[in-house]
Structure 1
Amino acid sequence: MGRAEARRARQRGGARRAAAHSQSDGIRPRGARRAAKGKGRIRSLFTFKRVIGTLFGLCLLAMGGFVALYLLVPVPEANAQAEQQSNVYKYADGSVITRTGEVNREIVGLDRVPKPVQKTFVAAENKSFYKDQGIDLKGTARGVVNTLTGKGKQGGSTITQQYVKNYYLNQDQTVTRKLKELVISLKVDQKKTKDEILAGYINTSYYGRGAYGIQAAAQAYYGVDAEELSVSQGAYLAALLQAPSQYDWATASPSSKKLVEQRWNYVLDNMVEQNWLDAGERSGMKFDKPDKPKAEAGKAGQSGYLVDAADEQIVAELVRRGDTREDAVNKVKAGGWTVTLNIQPKKQKALLKAVDAQLNDKLDPDKRKVDAAVQAGAVSVDPKTGAVIALYGGEDYLKHYQSNATRRDYQPGSTFKPVILASALENDARTQDGTPIRAGTVYDGTSGRPVEGGDKPYAPPNEGKKDYGDITVQRAMDHSVNSVYAQMGADVGMDRVAQTASDLGMQKITTDPAMTLGSMGASPMDMAGVYSTLDNHGKKVTPSILKTATHKDREEIRPETLGEQVVQRTTADSVTSVLQGVVNDGTGSVVSSGPYAGKYEAAGKTGTSDNNVSAWFAGYTPEMVTVVGMFGEAPEGGGDLKRPDKSPAGVGDHVSLAGAGGDGKIHGSGFPSRIWAAYTLGALNGGSDARFDLDTDMGAGVSPPAEPTSEAPSTDPSETPSAPPTSEDPTTAPPTSEPPTDAPTTEPPTDDPTIEPPTDEPSGSWGIPTEPGDGEETQRKPGRD
């Protein structure tokens, strides 16, 4: 081997030894070294010092931003809501009905509010109020996160923040508003004393019933000045601020009453915890129920009913657009609205005149105690537009705050029968023997006959237990034969009847057999919607008292009143044709006889509920639909009247109308029909030549079907189901039975039904609604059922 080769061999061996040595010493090859270097860089970026430094930097940035925000955001002037405007309400022709919304507020200093009452508000909303700096960072942060994530409105604000929101800002749920609230609250807390802030809070807050501030609230709920409030009463007002509409005792549901009592207890327990109330005194306290609501000024006569109905529609529309109900109510109460109603002054005047002439002028409570229990409500609608052109809510809003036009606690009785017929026609229903149900279909009109094919035993009597024998559907509608329509309900299927009723606009419909005789609760407004849809050839009509509502800061509200075809035109027109028979020679003949004969073409149906607690007439011409209801409601003190179960009546209880106005038993063919006819004649300026345009081949309006030749049975049926409903002769007391629903509480609603309208639960139903039949099938005396 030469020297060169030996040298190269030694170099190769040295390289191998060096590599081996480097590996044994932990030295990686070049690629490994690169990977290790990359990981090292990542670790170096997240060292403890770097992380702390970054967080510190972010904190400094946030602090700097907040300082800048603090310097840039001034404490503004009072907002528009704190200095509220009035709302202006106008008739359809632009003339002013009334102005409302003058703020019901009297600012009072804390020296006029007992110390313990002051503490109720602190205990309810912000126990740390006297110690904090005016803000709750945790609560505000939660509110911001909820706003960003769309979870909506959340609590957690301090009293200072709520005062700032009420007085300086607005109710908008935005991040910008929350940040401003935070900054302004800090500044206000530094500039004002805690007593000044607390005074501002309790004087700017809304308590419901149109009351802003503690003085107005004390008067609205307890009829006392703020300085006379007890701790118990103060705790209720403090609890009320969380949900004024839900917690108003006069209109609260049973579940809401439980919630407000829980909130009341929470306030007092917090006071004990903070040593603001003696535990012994607390244990002896009882919940002090607030007084019934009183009407606001400027709502006398019908104005209050019109305003409340319009306000409720505005609130409903704002809720549909995304507001909570509380916020929607606050926006209406804040004022600044110009509200145009569909009410036509001439027709409104004609309706008032008709009710006064045909009913009110005939009432004499000094002579007949039942006359003090008479209430009337009416709604008139243009079926082509859905506009409510006239409304009667009661004798005077200042005397009876609950609107009889929109209340749903009385049975509509036999005015529901056309809905059953509509469902039969719409569903091509057949009788038990397979015969298609049409106007000429023959049924057994025997009183008390057990219904066949129903889910439950049912055998309702006809009025006076009158037997009609074989009778057509047309004649059964003319004379409101209960046994026929109860059987028809079973033939159609109660679930289908309920669906048709819902489609036509009725609410809270069940499938109980008694429903066929109108045992649910419904208002004149509800039934006006049903009959307007029939008059409009089956296209849905939703009555609207509101034409437009405009506000400088909000989008105009213009309700949708006309909808889709909910029943076929032939169905609606066939029912209209049948209902023409009712006014021609049936129970509604008073509206087409005497001074009204030949004055207009009409269709309609009478209704009288069991125990005579309500009576109705729902009718229409081609141009106008009007529903009149008459209700028996015990006056203040009960009026020495009896409930249908014979127990002494209390204020608001349902009572019989029998004898009212000296008219004996009250039926739909009496006062309600006479009011309807007088109003219709006046509203149509003495009459109209308009005629129904009907697409049908059945019913009295087209060609009355031939009557069956069989005679009515001479004796009552011998077979009846166990415990059938009872019925008495027309000359004796009306039938009694167990009520299908609980008796209502019909306390007057608040001044502001939009906050929490009266309960819609049907009540005061004491058995089977009945409808008269006087035995004269070919002739009827006007004014009698």
Structure 2
Amino acid sequence: MGRADERRARQRGGRRAAPKRRRPAADGKGRIRRLFTWKKILGTFFGLCLLGMGAFAVLYMMIQIPEGNADARLQSNVYKYSDGTVLTRDGDRNREIVDLAKVPKDVQHAFVAAENKTFYEDSGVDVKGTARGLLNTLSGKGAQGGSTITQQYVKNYYLTQDQTVTRKLKELVISLKLDQQKSKDYILAGYLNTSYYGRGAYGIQAAAQAYYRVDAEDLTVPQGAYLAALLQAPSQYDWAVATETGKKLAKERWNYVLDKMAEQDWLSAADRKAAEFPVPEEPRGVAGMQGQTGYLVDAANDTLEKQLVADGTAEDAKQAAAMVEAGGWTITLNIDKKKQAALEKSVKAQLTGKLDPDARDVDADVQAGAVSVDPKTGAVVAMYGGVDYLKHYVNNATREDYQPASTFKPVILAAAVDQDAETQDGVPITANTIYDGTSKRPVVDDGVKVGFAPENEDDADYGDISVQTAMNKSVNSVFAQMGVDVGMDRVVDVAGDLGMDTEGMEAVPAQTLGSMGASPLEMAGVYATLDHHGKKVTPAVVKSVEHNSRAVELPDPVGGQVISREAADTVTSVLTGVVDDGTAQESVRDNPLRGGQQVAGKTGTSDNNKSAWFTGFTPTLVTSVGLFGEDAKTHGQVPLYGAGGNDRVNGGGYPARIWAAYTFGVMTQTSTFDLDTKQGAAVAPTTSAPPTETTSSPPAEETTSAPPSEEETTSAPPTDEETTSAPPTGEETTSAPPTGEETTSAPPSGEETGDDDGGGWLDDDR
């Protein structure tokens, strides 16, 4: 042992050091550490960067700026009926190229402020936005933002709207090259002249004419800011057809544009403050779109655009609209040619043919809209949008700015039955539950008045009545209390489940009167869901879509169960009473074309008579008809009092007559409802006079004899006395055709019965 070894041994207490052994690496971890060292990671990263740069350099050399030929790529769209016959095809595009010098400098700045405020300084691309778009495309998310004006021009003029990695890479390279080879003015002019602004207008000149009836050189700054705002969502922001939400968003975008102009010192503070929103002119008709055709085409295009965004084919509404307008689509609608013709004929025979604007000014203010749906498939088989697309641009079948009024009451009952709700006294809510129908009765929640006391139509007092009779007579005070009993938040939830747009719908008692906005299309979907035993039915305008370069998969219009079958069928059963013993007697029950057909439905008349509705259904067809008071000049909402020579236009009048003439006219055979309900069917029709206006005691005719019997206050099925003919089952009692006993007295007319609403409780301007 050497001296050094002896010294170390003494230090260790005389023990000789054992030979060193290499410790075995932890199971697999050492290999991973050796594999992923910092040097290797950094080397790989820089290698990939170099590889990417090299690949981009190759792409940059290979990809050239193509010959722009946007007009040549634009093709017609073909629209077909459900049987494959051609409805129409759109033709020439509305485009006129103008020199940038003819566009006021301030208007140019409005577009730059809206879309790309660094346009005059950037290199033509937004690297972060493009990278985000590439990642989203690769991951299938589909949404992107941040494209520069140069990139948008390249996409519009040199490429396609396809959302693919290849297209995005080409867009990046061409944008860089274009920015190097062309001036900013050249690019901006190209962008303004190729963008789609809605209303079939391509380019700023066509847009200026379409929205303001002026040439591009005469646009004001506020007008230019609106056109710039439109580019984000041409269909949604078009003032003529926008919903209240759409108008709000359009104004917000308009303000955003002006604010950005001020930030860039392109608009003085004084001019910014003085700017007033420039309401666009009414749209002008497009050749080939007369009659109902334009409404159907717009509805089909709207469906396709939304689907392109939903499935990620388009990045946003703006791109979706451009893709549809670029053409090449064959769109087959669900519209049945014979039913469509029948609906148009019914509206003319029952309404428009009887109006005389020369004799009555109010007759010029009457607008009608209707949608007919097959509840088994969700197909929209007929749609009436207005008297003529070239005369009235807004589609009355899809507009959502008028109150559905008492056609909302079945939603409240559906929520009550579906949730097994109880009254304030703990009594289960059924068709036979007794409520106080006194007009202006304060609504109570857990013993506390909630500050809402709705008036019944004509201030009629009904006293203690069953839910069935309250639905028949459309008694506001009953359903206001029922909404609170169920819980208004739950009522709103069920409304959304059934197909109503509940965004922004407040869960307050006033909503029980149908004070929200809704469209005939929307209400047809709600009632189709009830008709289909609680399975969600979303009305589908489009049957199929074809294109030579892309496929579009449409969702199934029929979904899953959203409320219980018993709840849906109970409401259907109750709604037969509205027809056989309520506000739709004259127009529907006693119609000679009915032929024993079972019918359920509900009338509605909004506050101040600004809208009137009838939404009704058979087991095979659901149709919603709405009449709307719209000033022929200002297009504001106005009352319908006096229209057609009637003191008041109610849902049981014109809407119900249109419905009956159409529905019974297209029937090929009668059918009966297959209902699964423990609550029985409609009460027997009444035979007495209507209620007095100021009494608090219930009139005799509302309870078939004196006050309600025990059978009316329980959930037991109705007795034989309630079955006016031999129904298929005890649950389908009075939905059978009326017998002679049911018509022993003259029923009140549809224009005079207790349809509903009024009393100033609804917002006139909703």
Shorter-chain TM-score tier: 0.7 to 0.9
Question: Using the alignment, how far apart are the partners of 1:369 and 1:91 within structure 2?
Answer: 37
Taking the aligned partners of 1:493 and 1:123, their CA distance within structure 2 comes to 47
The one-letter amino acid paired with 2:280 is: D
Residue number in structure 1 paired with 2:380: 388
Farther-moved stretch of structure 1 (93-102 vs 58-67): 58-67
Selected match of 2:543 from 541, 547, 553: 547
SS in 2 for 1:574: helix
Q: Does 1:154 align with 2:145?
A: yes
Specify whether residues 146 and 72 from structure 1 end up closer, same or farther in structure 2 by C-alpha distance, changes over 3 A only: same
Are residues 1:425 and 2:417 paired? yes
Tell me the C-alpha RMSD between the 2 structures.
4.1
Distance 1:218 1:170, change over 3 A: same
* Amino-acid identity (%): 59
Partner of 1:738: none
Q: CA deviation at 1:85?
A: 1.4
Distance 2:38 2:81 in 1: 73
CA contact (8 A) 1:575 1:699 kept: no
Aligned AA (2:674): D
Task: Tell me which amino acid in the other structure corresponds to 2:590.
Answer: S
The alpha-carbon distance between structure 1 residues 513 and 80, as it changes in their structure 2 partners (threshold 3 A), is same
Structure 2 distance, partners of 1:658, 1:457, is 29
| Cα distance change of structure 1 residues 627 and 53 upon mapping to structure 2, 3 Å threshold | closer
Matched to 2:325, the amino acid is K
1:378-414 CA distances to partner (integer Å, 9 max, x unpaired)? 1111111111111111111222222211222222222
| Residue 468 of structure 1 pairs with residue 462 of structure 2 | yes
Q: What amino acid is aligned across from residue 154 of structure 1 in structure 2? A: G
Instruction: Determine the structure 2 residue equivalent to 1:781.
Output: 748
Larger Rg: 1
* 1:585 and 1:778 in contact (8 A); partners too: no
Kindly indicate whether the alpha-carbon contact (under 8 Å) linking 1:546 and 1:559 is maintained by their aligned counterparts in 2: no
**Residue 222 of structure 1, CA deviation:** 2.2
**What is aligned with 1:203?**
193
**1:665 alignment partner in structure 2:** 648
Would you say the 8 A contact 2:300–2:541 is kept in 1?
yes
SS at match of 1:557: coil
1:416: how far off?
1.9
1:584 match: secondary structure:
helix
- CA distance in structure 2 between the aligned counterparts of 1:295 and 1:369, rounded to whole angstroms: 24
Summarize deviations over 1:261-300 as a string: whole Å, max 9, x none.
Answer: 231343366465xxxx9x7996797456252341441322
Q: 2:222, 2:278 within 8 Å by CA — same for their partners in 1? A: no
Q: Within 5 Å, which residues of 2 pair with 1:250-261?
A: 251=242, 252-261=246-255
Rounded to whole Å, the distance in 1 between the matches of 2:534 and 2:49 is 67
Distance 1:118 1:575 in 2: 57
Question: Do structure 1's residue 654 and structure 2's residue 637 form an aligned pair?
Answer: yes
Match of 2:704 in 1: none
Q: Could you tell me how far 1:499 is from its partner in structure 2?
A: 2.8
Are 2:169 and 1:169 aligned?
no
Matched letter for residue 601 of structure 2: G
Measure, in 2, the Cα distance between the counterparts of 1:481 and 1:604: 15
The match for 2:728 is none
Q: Are residues 398 and 437 of structure 1, via their aligned partners in 2, closer, same or farther at CA, if it must alter by over 3 Å? A: same
Q: Secondary structure at the match of 2:555?
A: coil
- Name the amino acid aligned to 1:606: T
> Higher mean Cα deviation, 480-489 or 610-619?
480-489
Q: Who is 2:606 aligned against?
A: 609
Question: Which residue is 1:37 aligned to?
Answer: none
1:294 corresponds to which of 255, 274, 283: 283
What is the distance in 2 between the residues matched to 1:194 and 1:712? 75
Task: Specify the alignment match of 1:520 in structure 2.
Answer: 516
Partner residue in 2 for 1:562: 558
Equivalent position to 1:215, from 193, 198, 205: 205
Report the Cα offset of residue 534 of structure 1.
Answer: 1.7
Q: Give the aligned partner of residue 308 of structure 1.
A: 298
Cα distance in 2, alignment partners of residues 380 and 247 from structure 1: 27
Q: CA deviation at 1:659?
A: 0.9
Letter in 1 for 2:218: E
Would the aligned equivalents of 1:351 and 1:391 in 2 still touch at CA under 8 Å?
Answer: yes
Please state how far the C-alpha of 1:475 moved relative to its aligned partner.
2.2
Indicate how the Cα distance of structure 1 residues 654 and 222 shifts in structure 2: closer, same or farther if over 3 A, else same.
closer
- Residue pair 2:106, 2:221 contacting (<8 A) in 1 also: yes
2-structure distance, mates of 1:500, 1:527: 13
Partner of 1:495: 489
Q: 1:106 to 1:438 in 2, by over 3 A?
A: same
- In structure 2, what residue type is equivalent to 1:289? P
User: Counterpart in 2 of 1:573?
Assistant: 569
- Matched-pair contact (CA < 8 Å) for 2:262–2:272: no
Unaligned segments of structure 2, at least 5 residues: 9-19, 21-33, 698-742, 754-766
Relative to structure 2, which stretch is displaced further, 259-268 or 532-541?
Answer: 259-268
- After TM superposition, list the pairs within 5 Å mapping 1:343-362 onto structure 2: 343-362=335-354
SS of corresponding position for 1:491: helix
> Greater relative contact order (Cα 8 A, min sep 6): structure 1 or 2?
1
Secondary structure at 2:331 match in 1? strand
Tell me what 1:35 maps to: none
For residues 122-143 of structure 1, give each alpha carbon's deviation from its aligned partner in whole angstroms, at most 9, with x where no partner exists.
6666677677765666776676
Determine if contact 1:506/1:530 at 8 Å carries over to the other structure.
yes
Q: Is the 8 A contact 2:154 2:171 kept in 1?
A: yes
The runs of 5 or more residues in structure 1 that have no matched partner are 1-8, 20-30, 32-41, 637-650, 719-775
Contact 2:232 2:317 in 1 (8 A): no
Q: Does the aligned pair in 2 maintain the 1:81–1:166 contact within 8 Å?
A: no
Give the length in aligned residue pairs: 669
SS at match of 1:177: helix
1:81, distance to aligned residue in structure 2 (A)? 8.1
Shift of 1:304: 1.6
Question: Which stretch shows the higher mean deviation, 502-511 or 53-62?
Answer: 53-62
SS in 1 for 2:308: helix
Secondary structure of 2:281 counterpart = coil
Which deviates more from structure 2 when the two are superposed, residues 658-667 or residues 511-520? Answer: 511-520
Q: Distance in 2 between matches of 1:540 and 1:600?
A: 24
Contact 2:524/2:539 (<8 A) preserved: yes
